[in-house]
Amino acid sequence: MSARRVLPTDHGPVLIEGPVEIVLPDGSLVRSDRPVVALCTCRRSRRYPFCDTSHRRHRPGGSAEAGLGERPAAQ
């Protein structure tokens, strides 16, 4: 079996080179044949265990448009 590349991202999903098979806590098996799979780490995804970018709406500072944890400068 060849090694898979796994790339954790800041404030987002874990990227894994596919195809992958994922065993869920209930024992069910989910498969993806995509070349790169984004796995949700925040559990907000409606497509869990796959990421649907829901984490973007819950960044520190409140806004999806704000950078990763950046807050607007005080005026």
Q: What is the pLDDT of residues 61-73, one digit of tens each?
A: 544 443 444 434 4
Which helix (H) or strand (E) is 8 found in, with range?
A: strand 6-8
Q: Could you tell me the maximum CA-CA distance found in the chain, to the nearest angstrom?
A: 57
Kindly state the DSSP code that residue 57 receives in the 8-state scheme.
Answer: G
- Judge whether 42 lies within some domain: yes
Domain holding 44, by residue range, is 6-58
- Judge whether 67 lies within some domain: no
- Judge whether 17 lies within some domain: yes
Of 51, 68, 53, nearest to 10 by C-alpha is 68
Tell me what the mean pLDDT of segment 8-26 comes to: 90
- Sign of the C-alpha dihedral computed for residues 9, 12, 61 and 72 taken in this order: positive
Q: Number of structural domains, the chain?
A: 1
pLDDT over threshold 80, residue 17: yes
- Judge whether 11 lies within some domain: yes
Q: What is the pLDDT of residue 64?
A: 43
Q: How confident is the model at residue 2 (pLDDT cuts 50, 70, 90)?
A: confident
